[in-house]
Chain A
Amino acid sequence: MPTPRTVCTASLARNHSVAALGRILRLAVVTALVVAFLCRPAAAASGAPASLPGPPPGAGTGFPAAPSPGTVPTAGGVGPAASLPSGVSGPGLLSGIVQLQGRKLTLAIACSAGGAVSLTAPALHSGVLARGGYVCRRRRASVQLSLSGAAAGRLRALGSTLASVTLGGQHPSIMLEASSAPPSDWSDGGLECSFLGPYEPYLVAPNFTVSPAVVIDVRPWVAWYTGANGWRWLGTSGVNSSTWYRWTATPTGVAQWVTPTGALNPWTWAPISVSPGQHASAIGVFEVIYWYAHPRYKWAYTRSRLNASALGAYCMYP
């Protein structure tokens, strides 16, 4: 941001009367206030997320091979120690849930420069479904994408579908919805916000129950939001990358998580460190494949444990 010339009052004052100097000073103050107003960080940049992060990166894709006959999974290890990166680059989505308005979809973006967006949704159309460009103002942009009548009609028929956007060289997933639908949460597990420390959440997997017993593959994620960067994703293999974990879901829960002495020790991912001062919000997400004869895929959020007695959507880290 260039320095306003009017702040150079010292040199001007030498050549003007006191009255003129007063006018110049007032002008300088007003100019500085206007500049400060125009250059202030976007109000949204420090706020809580306006919407949920939607599906994780590559949702519904990148599945592991089906288990071989008679496979008995092992309990495996915990998730590795990790940190939410404090420095991220490129644009990010402000919401991963996008609703159809007529034939239009609007993407809200956190950005530092203008760019282009393309949208794919395999269930609606092969190849690119829509394209658009955006101009970045005060770290925010909005992109309006138009669907064909056929694609919009197909989305209405499906109700919702997974899609992917190409945005700043990344490919975040989004959920396209024909109408507003409540978010889907796993009934247990979740992000423990501060049990291990005020900036040290950890993720607990839901105790997947299903009848009859079936092998499952589970992919864990933590989505975190900052006003400056929008939603970002951390998996157990790094940013935008996570690992599939294989267990057996039974009518009473995951068989491999029960200890020989009868305790239930679910899979956990700990610790996940957050740097103070990021003003970050975080939420856990689990994808699951149930390997029935016809496999079934599902992703859902987990609830966040704010303290010993309160649940919420997000863990917050000021």
Chain B
Amino acid sequence: MLFRTGQLHRCSYSAGVRRAISLTAALMLTLAMFATDAGLAHAAGVPSGLPGPPPGAGTGFPLPPAPGQAPPSQPPGAPVTIPLGTSGPGLLSGSAGLSGRRLNLRIACDAGGHATLSVPALASGTVAQARYKCAGGRSTVSLPLGKRIAQQITSTGSVLARVAFTQGGATESQSVTVGPRPPSAAYWTSVFGLRCGAPGSNQADLTAPNFTVTPPTTIDVRPWLAWYTGATGWHWLGTEGPNASRWYRWTAAPGGVAEWSTPSGINPWAWTPITVNPGHGTYVIAVFEAIYWYSHPEYVWEYVHSGVTPYANTTYCVYS
């Protein structure tokens, strides 16, 4: 009865009633504080998982190089600021394991919506879809898979998938790796990577791994930054803006990228400065996709290490 305030207005305000109103207000305030605390707990936390594959991973490849043609010179990445305003939900982790025949994706959100899952390597079209509700800035999208596709995912081990979130008339696609268990993260082996706090304290610079391979082969490389806040989940920034990056073409050789070699040492591709606006609790990690144009091409995507120095590796650059 304490919560039926509409009726209380029609009564005289006796002392008992005032006590009841006070109690009601206190209770509601407490509940609101708990709710807010829950939201803040999300917002302040470290990422629960890595961002997974970049947008459009495994697709949108350039055409193979022309016969005998050396790559043209490539521009460095232009200065950029992490755009903290986002549209659509963000994944809390970009890799997911099957739970029975369900795929559960945790997301940061500000409204409910609809999600569809496709696994182009295994099936054409949508393989699962689900509606989700958003509460406290979080939701778990539970996608029911058919028996056959679940078996295929299990037998494949790990496969690239794409999830499209439709929320308020807008659709945003994100890549995710799925498997019988969340796949383990793979990192490029290189002293290069994401250098935190450089050149300024709220900045970073990204240096591409020195791709080595025998025999030499032309490679196409696509760089990405994934950034996370508790409020937004993981989102992606490429050298052409949010969710868009370009391919850079070089020659990977046994001694590293041929085009980066200079008489005075190696001069790798760099993307700097990457500026992060303070006050959001932002985590940043970089990813590189690469195509090795052997006679039979190979595609790989992996994270690069982050750190304040090349040898002090951490998973992320963190900006409070």
Interface residue B218 (Cβ < 8 Å from any Cβ of A): yes
- Number of A-B residue pairs, CB cutoff 8 Å, is 95
Q: Is the CB of A267 within 8 A of B67?
A: yes
Q: Is the CB of B215 within 8 A of A75?
A: no
Query: What DSSP secondary structure best describes chain B's contact surface?
Result: loop
- Please pick, from B67, B217, B258, B295, the residue contacting A75 in the complex, using a CB distance under 8 A: B67
Interface residue A197 (Cβ < 8 Å from any Cβ of B): yes
Neighbouring B residues of A260 by C-beta, 8 Å = 70
Q: On chain B, which size bracket covers the interface?
A: 20 to 34
Given contact pairs A262-B216, A264-B217, A265-B218, A257 touches B68 in the complex (Cβ within 8 A) = yes
Complex Cα–Cα for A218 and B71 (A):
25
Interface residue A168 (Cβ < 8 Å from any Cβ of B): no
Say how far B56's CB is from chain A's closest CB, in angstroms: 12
Query: Which residue of A has the minimal Cβ distance to B250?
Result: A261
Q: Is the CB of A78 within 8 A of B66?
A: yes
Interface residue B253 (Cβ < 8 Å from any Cβ of A): yes
Say how far B106's CB is from chain A's closest CB, in angstroms: 29
Interface residue B183 (Cβ < 8 Å from any Cβ of A): no
Given contact pairs A198-B124, A207-B295, A259-B251, A265 touches B67 in the complex (Cβ within 8 A) = yes
Neighbouring A residues of B251 by C-beta, 8 Å = 259, 261-263
- Please pick, from B67, B253, B259, the residue contacting A268 in the complex, using a CB distance under 8 A: B67
- Tell me which of A76, A197, A261 has the highest count of chain B C-beta atoms within 10 A of its own C-beta: A261
Q: Which residues in chain A, 165-202, are within 8 Å of chain B measured between CB atoms? A: 188-190, 192, 195-198, 202
Interface residue B65 (Cβ < 8 Å from any Cβ of A): yes
Interface residue A258 (Cβ < 8 Å from any Cβ of B): yes
Q: Is the CB of B63 within 8 A of A196?
A: yes
Interface residue A77 (Cβ < 8 Å from any Cβ of B): yes
- Please pick, from A261, A268, A270, A305, the residue contacting B216 in the complex, using a CB distance under 8 A: A261
Query: What DSSP secondary structure best describes chain A's contact surface?
Result: loop
- Tell me which of A192, A196, A305 has the highest count of chain B C-beta atoms within 10 A of its own C-beta: A196
Q: Is the CB of B61 within 8 A of A195?
A: yes
Interface residue B73 (Cβ < 8 Å from any Cβ of A): no
Neighbouring A residues of B258 by C-beta, 8 Å = 261-263
Q: Is the CB of B218 within 8 A of A75?
A: no
Contact with A along B292-303 (1 / 0, CB 8 A): 010111110000
Say how far A237's CB is from chain B's closest CB, in angstroms: 18
Given contact pairs A192-B296, A195-B297, A266-B295, A78 touches B63 in the complex (Cβ within 8 A) = yes
Say how far B164's CB is from chain A's closest CB, in angstroms: 17
Neighbouring A residues of B146 by C-beta, 8 Å = none
**What are 13 A-B pairs with beta-carbon distances under 8 A?**
A77-B67, A188-B295, A192-B296, A195-B61, A198-B124, A202-B63, A262-B258, A263-B218, A265-B64, A265-B293, A268-B67, A307-B121, A308-B298
